[in-house]
Structure formats: C-alpha cells, structure tokens
Amino acid sequence: MTKRRTAIRPAPPLPIAEVVARLRDEYGERPPRQRHPPLDELVETILSQNTSDLNSGRAYAQLRERFGSLAAVAVARVEEVAAAIKVGGLASVKAPRIQAVLREVRQRRGDLDIGFLAGLPLEEARAWLCSLPGVGPKTAACVLLFSLDKPALPVDTHVFRVAHRLGLLGPRVTPEQAHAILESQVPPEEVYTLHMGLILHGRRVCHAQRPECSRCLFADRCPARPLFESGAAGPGARAVARRLTASRRR
C-alpha cells in the first residue's frame, strides 16, 4: 500500500502591520542614519553596490580625502577615481558610473546640487533619480529615504528575501517591482522601521542559506517555514537567489 504524502500547508501571511510591530518589538526603533547631502548619498550608494557597508564607507572616505569635492571627482581622470575607491571593489565599473552621474547632474542643473528633489512629490523625485545613468530603484530609494526623508523603501537582498518568505511579495515579483508593492502596503511613517527591521532579521536569522526558523520571531506564522523544514524549498529558494543576484546590479 502506497503511503500518502501529507500536503504542506503554509500559514497565511501576517498583515504587514503585524510584521512591523514584531520587528519593532524585536529590534527596537533604529536610530536615523547620519544624513549626507543627497548627491553624496547617491555616490555612496553607488559605492555600496556588491560590497559591505564597511568597505563602501572606506571607499567614500578615501574618495573625499583624495579629491576634496565631488566637483573635483567629476573632472578627474577615471583611473584616479578608480584608484581612490579600490577598497570598495568593482572600481573599474563604479568610477565611470559615478563620473557619468555627476556630469549628468551638472549638465541638467548647472551645478552639483540635487537638493531640489526634497520639494518634489515622491514619485517625481524617484523618476528624476532613476533617469540618471546607472541609477536603479534601489539606489534611488536609498537617496530618498536616507537623505531626503521621503517614504521610499529600498529593497536590498535581505529585504527582498525576508519579505518574499513572509508572503508580503508574490512568488513572481521581481526586486524592481517589490519597491512599489511594499511601499503601498505600509504607512509612510513605518517605511524606515520596516526597511531596517527586515535587513536586521535577514542578517541575523533569516539567512539566504539555512534560515534559523526555530528561533525566528515569525516562526508561528511564516509561510516559508514548513517548506524549509521539510526540504521542499530548494527550487523556490534557487529562483529567489537568481532574482537577488540580478538585483545586486542595481
């Protein structure tokens, strides 16, 4: 007699308000990040792509120490810029990207100041940033949230992974689509708390490989937990990993 397999029935997703509340209870209110002028934030965010916060911070500090101003960075030889940011990795890609952005801003605005974005509605400011060369939705959201205090939600690898597993995002949602979907679900005043909480939870518990479901604060209601504990999450996890790899290029 063939043994019947028990179907895996994931728990229904938590409302996003409950996700935010649990993250706040677990990790507290995170202090605001040190605010940079928006163009500096944009440059530092480009430097943060595909590297650690520590290395990108060092690269930004060395860039400012070497050139003194972004105006000097814009007109420097690209090899000199690459040498200054080498510690951040992918310097040969990031140096021309940073210079292209700076030169485009100066051409459009007549100077290197994008503070005017603070006075625009969120979607207009986002569209303007995303029209710059090499600037995608995640980079734009970082500038909007951290420098301009606008309720844009940057979706990095941790945010996307945890939100996907919690059922806040559908299985076919891409990282690019995830920004608008998550922002539409959470009140503007909770965007920062959700962003920081999902990052911390992804780093500490909900790892890309071998998430620690037994000590997760969402263990009772996470739709993905039974899939991981049964070993049924393999192909799905690989699909998410592919999308995450693609998102790192933005």
Known catalytic residues are: 138
Residue 81 has which token pair?
Answer: 């810029």
**Rounded distance, CA 129 to CA 245, Å?**
22
The contacts of residue 13 (CB under 8 Å, 6+ apart) are 166, 167, 168, 221, 223
**Rounded distance, CA 119 to CA 121, Å?**
7
Calculate the dihedral angle through the C-alpha atoms of 27, 31, 36, 38, rounding to the nearest 10 degrees.
Answer: 60
**What residue has token string 């920081």?**
196
Q: From 137, 94, 121, select the one nearest 129 (Cα to Cα).
A: 137
Backbone angles phi, psi at 170, to 5 degrees: -70, 165
**Rounded distance, CA 153 to CA 157, Å?**
13
Are 184 and 152 in contact by the 8 Å Cβ rule? The answer is no
**Rounded distance, CA 73 to CA 31, Å?**
31
